[in-house]
Amino acid sequence: MIFALFVFVPVAAIVAFYVSQQHANALSSATGQRLHSRPQHHGMHSMLWVMLAGWGVLLVLTVLGETLIHRTLIGRVSDALPDDGPLQWNLVLSDARSIAQGTVASSTDMLREQIASSFSWMNATRLWGTALATIGAVAAVAWWTYQQITIELRARIYAENMIRRGLAVMATVAVLTTIGIVLSLIFETVRFFDAIDWQLHKFLFGTTWSPLSGVFEGEMDADKVGIVPLFAGTLMITLIAMLVAVPIGLFAAIYLSDFANQRVRAVVKPVMELLAGIPTVVYGFFAVITVAPLLRDAGKAIGVPIASESALAAGMVMGIMIIPFISSLSDDVINSVPQSLRDGSLSLGATKAETIRQVVLPAALPGIVSAIVLGVSKAIGETMIVVMAAGQGPNLTGNPLEAMTTVTVQIVALITGDIEAKTAAGPAFTLGFTLFVMTLLMNMLAQRLVARFREAYD
């Protein structure tokens, strides 16, 4: 039904377009006067209004209605089952929905039947109400714009202003997303810090991470929420990744931009793009299936025990993932160092290597540093490789051959774990907030560096 309404709106809008266009045409030929705006602008004017009103009403009523029904029914379920938690309530509600829709529910009882019948009539009311309101809004707005059509109506200007405003709204979606991220992260983070009485030093410098160990007592133990072990793991894996990615990516970029001929570039660039296009979950699989066993066997051969979920394996594979990132960004900046500088150096009798080391790289340095910073930020935020190939246990060690865990792994473990969502959300969102702030700072630093580079050479 909602979907039908969703499609109905543009259809109605197209009808409104033609009707208004015809009307404007007729008006013009009847009066013999020239319209201020062309007939299709009148049509467009009506069409835009109809779409705006129709979809607006539909969206607001759908979201409001769903939320209202959900809240009401959950309220009733929680009154009926005061001893159970939200997880159970949601289960009952989803069973009731299934019953109401005639599909298979996990179990049925009196309560579920009652809720189901309430849901049935509420949902029906909501659907019909939404339909009536949407159609009503569409009709009203169509009539209103139809009425407005006169010789003088500046329909084109109105329509174009609407389009401009619509475009501006679209441009702010990204901002809204950021605001959404920040608000949702901060909300839970503040709650989490409340739970540990704002002992931030214990969070930042504590060496034990086991935030859920006290959940059954309903307490968050401030001594067990230290993120140092997670940071140690994150930094260790990032370091290994960068040790792999920076030299390989940088040398590849240097070779591609200053030594390789067109043919080599035509082959190598797609290879790098391919590496960049491989989903991280595939890299994770690669780490688990190939790299980790390989390292373990190699370790065994030389008598060094390497854990099967070692930071080394995860870091190496993450490094491979970041190679194309570093190489393409560095390639860009190395290529934008003006040829005239290279010519100047070569004309003095410098070799290509000397030119690169002493002229090109110093000039490109801000750009390269920014590429590395972005690479680090990507490594810190990378999730799947470490979830699959690094450890789960917060292990504070300096040995990359052991299992270590990372901030992202812990977020996934907390949210997808068995612990009730409300309890796990605090530490998980706090970690997410930490991650967000770190990557944001790095990205801003990288952008500033690139801007400096661009200023010098563009």
By CB under 8 A, what part of segment 315-334 binds another protein? 320, 323-324, 327
Q: How far is the CB of 39 from another protein (least distance, A)?
A: 15
Applying CB under 8 A, among 31, 266, 344, 420 the residue interacting with another protein is 344
Applying CB under 8 A, among 22, 72, 117, 416 the residue interacting with another protein is 416
Q: How far apart are CA 203 and CA 193, in angstroms?
A: 9
Applying CB under 8 A, among 236, 288, 292, 312 the residue interacting with another protein is 288
Q: How far is the CB of 37 from another protein (least distance, A)?
A: 10
Q: Which CB sits closer to another protein, 57 or 450?
A: 450
Q: Which CB sits closer to another protein, 191 or 208?
A: 191
Q: How far is the CB of 315 from another protein (least distance, A)?
A: 14
- Geometric angle at alpha carbon 157, from 155 and 158, rounded to 5°: 65
| Residue 284 binds another protein, judged by CB under 8 A | yes
DSSP one-letter string for 365-380: HHHHHHHHHHHHHHHH
- Candidates 446, 440, 439, 244; CA nearest to 332 is 446
Give how far the C-alpha of residue 329 lies from the chain's centroid of Cα atoms, to the nearest Å. Answer: 22
Applying CB under 8 A, among 4, 30, 173, 301 the residue interacting with another protein is 173
Question: Which residues from 97-136 bind another protein, rule CB under 8 A?
Answer: none
Which spans in 102-227 are helix H? Answer: 110-148, 155-195, 200-205
Q: Which CB sits closer to another protein, 189 or 395?
A: 189
Question: Which residues from 251-270 bind another protein, rule CB under 8 A?
Answer: 251-252, 254-256, 259-262, 268
Q: How far apart are CA 403 and CA 305, in angstroms?
A: 12
CA dihedral 77, 81, 86, 92 (to 10 degrees): -50
Q: How far is the CB of 223 from another protein (least distance, A)?
A: 25
- On the CB side of 92, how many CA atoms lie within 13 Å of its CA? 24
Six-digit token string for 237? 């894996």
Cβ atoms of 2 and 63 within 8 Å: the answer is no
| Residue 283 binds another protein, judged by CB under 8 A | yes
Q: For residue 288, what are the CA distances in angstroms to 74, 198, 344, 398, 442? A: 43, 39, 50, 22, 29
Q: How far is the CB of 171 from another protein (least distance, A)?
A: 4
Q: Which CB sits closer to another protein, 208 or 443?
A: 443
Q: Which CB sits closer to another protein, 324 or 400?
A: 324
- On the CB side of 2, how many CA atoms lie within 13 Å of its CA? 15
- Candidates 451, 441, 442; CA nearest to 376 is 442
417 burial class (0-12, 13-18, 19+ CB within 10 angstroms)?
A: middle
| Residue 163 binds another protein, judged by CB under 8 A | yes
Applying CB under 8 A, among 10, 381, 393, 417 the residue interacting with another protein is 381
**Which x/- pattern over 54-83 shows residues binding another protein (rule: CB under 8 A)?**
---------x--xx--xx------------
131 burial class (0-12, 13-18, 19+ CB within 10 angstroms)?
A: middle
- Collapse the DSSP code of 225 into the 3-class scheme (helix H, G, I; strand E, B; otherwise coil) and give the result: strand
Cβ atoms of 450 and 370 within 8 Å: the answer is yes
| Residue 282 binds another protein, judged by CB under 8 A | yes
Q: Which CB sits closer to another protein, 201 or 422?
A: 422
Question: Which residues from 354-373 bind another protein, rule CB under 8 A?
Answer: 354, 356-359, 362-363
Applying CB under 8 A, among 412, 417, 419, 452 the residue interacting with another protein is 412
Q: Which CB sits closer to another protein, 95 or 382?
A: 382
Cβ atoms of 452 and 250 within 8 Å: the answer is no
The amino acid occupying position 24 is: A
The amino acid occupying position 411 is: I
Q: How far is the CB of 438 from another protein (least distance, A)?
A: 9
Question: Which residues from 3-42 bind another protein, rule CB under 8 A?
Answer: none
Stretch that binds another protein, among 26-34, 166-174, 192-200, 301-309 (CB under 8 A): 166-174
Q: Which CB sits closer to another protein, 84 or 343?
A: 343
Q: Which CB sits closer to another protein, 214 or 452?
A: 452
Applying CB under 8 A, among 85, 351, 420, 454 the residue interacting with another protein is 351
